[in-house]
Structure 1
């Protein structure tokens, strides 16, 4: 067989070039990330911490081991809370409240450092605190309409007042009495 050592040398060079191209493609792939529409990114740098600016839509570069992007969904999302409460006339009321909220884009780095990616579970209130007292004060009969408190707003986070959520809308979705009032004087 003629050209044996030359063929081996040629194939070795092709293998080295393929390995180099594969490593370069892998490095390029690890250094790119995409932020879709309706999302923003916060970049964590191992030396500088969370960078103060948010990253908008598009494809962006990072240093693969040194930086890591965290993607936030900034679209308005619904959150439903349900609560059972008693009224002054001894009825049980089931009230469902819907909140539409989104994170404040300017404060995303602060939200990430203080609350993490699950900020809405920590910022949005417990359903029993603001909802329960309202029906017991407002509804005295079965015909009266149940409503969410108009002055209600999200509770600040545990770590102090943090402007992290923009409350877009609050509405009572459903209010129902769980049992009829006790009949008095019939017997």
Structure 2
């Protein structure tokens, strides 16, 4: 498989009590994404050789670079207060708590010359706010985009990620929305 595209990062706040997601929102336009699983490992040596070996999912580090961080994401992900959408204003408080979110995205891949659209879904991720990087305008235009880092963990039932492969982008998006609990409109 060869990935040739990345599209539509989507997040929805995970309610810890109900296990359901809030209405999902598009999280800007995707620039880059890395999901790096980490595993706990252990081995048992007996009779001068390795007798047992186990490797189990522990967590996954997630880094997402997007064109922008929408106002609603400040509230859903980072626990800040969106004063009003019309004012485009966010209040940051030292006591704000980051929230777990579900996260979906679409990758485009090509296998044997055939293009497919893969829906990806992480069930439970907690992100940290990005560092802010600004620069004065010089002779050339330079874009600065936010990159957020987080950690995906498994749900109580052990699920941490789902992947579905589809013929169209619309079908992959519908699958992702279904993971958030959104019915087709």
Category of TM-score, reference length = shorter chain: under 0.3
* Larger RCO: 1 or 2 (CA < 8 Å, sep 6+): 2
Q: TM-score, normalised by structure 1?
A: 0.26
**More strand as a share of residues:** 2
Q: TM-score, normalised by structure 2?
A: 0.26
The structure with the largest alpha-carbon Rg is 1
**More helix as a share of residues:** 1
